[in-house]
Amino acid sequence: MATTTKRLFTKDFEVHASLKMLYPYIQTASGLSEWFADDVTISPEKVFTFVWDHEEHKAIMAAHRALHFVKFEYLPENKEDEKDPSYFELRLEVNELTQTTFLKVIDYSDFDDLDELDDLWEGLVENLRKVVGG
């Protein structure tokens, strides 16, 4: 059985919008479904279901802090995931000097091609910018 190596991908994206405006888009199912996935639903047990290309991926909100960050941890699909779960974190940061808002993406997964992952996030954040007008 091949062991997949998970990698940490981190990148900052400048977004011209306030923290108050951006936070609902990274924290709520309705907000996330506008830019991040084809559809996002949340169950009564607080399990988020992200749908991309008709494939469902379930995650829980493992941590969050209002107007700062949210971390989603994918539910394990196999034994390896139980020990080392994939997750993504979306952090909102403001540069004090320039008052510029950044969305910091932290993606820990077994995605092989980091260039492709970079392009993927680039496209997702572009969707977000269109939604918020920033």
pLDDT at 80: 84
pLDDT digits (tens, 9 = 90+) for 8-26: 999 999 999 999 999 999 9
The residues that bridge with 90 in the sheet, in sequence order, are 70, 105
User: Which burial class, exposed, middle or buried, applies to 28 when counting CB atoms under 10 A from its CB (0-12, 13-18, 19+)?
Assistant: middle
Coil, strand or helix at 85: coil
Residue 35 and residue 25 in contact, taking contact as beta carbons nearer than 8 Å: yes
As given in the structure block, the two tokens for residue 46 are 């607080």
In a domain, 25, yes or no: yes
Number of folded domains that form the chain = 1
Global pTM reads 0.92
Residue 54 and residue 37 in contact, taking contact as beta carbons nearer than 8 Å: no
The single residue listed with the structure tokens 């190596």 is: 5
pLDDT at 94: 96
The single residue listed with the structure tokens 């609902």 is: 24
pLDDT at 3: 57
In a domain, 1, yes or no: no
CATH assignment of the domain containing 59: 3.30.530.20
pLDDT digits (tens, 9 = 90+) for 60-106: 999 999 999 999 999 998 888 889 999 999 999 999 999 999 999 99
Q: Give backbone dihedrals phi and psi of 110, rounded to 5 degrees, phi first.
A: -95, 25
Does residue 120 register a pLDDT over 80? yes
As given in the structure block, the two tokens for residue 67 are 């107007």
CA distance 86 to 74: 6
Domain span at 99 = 7-132
As given in the structure block, the two tokens for residue 65 are 């802090």
In a domain, 2, yes or no: no
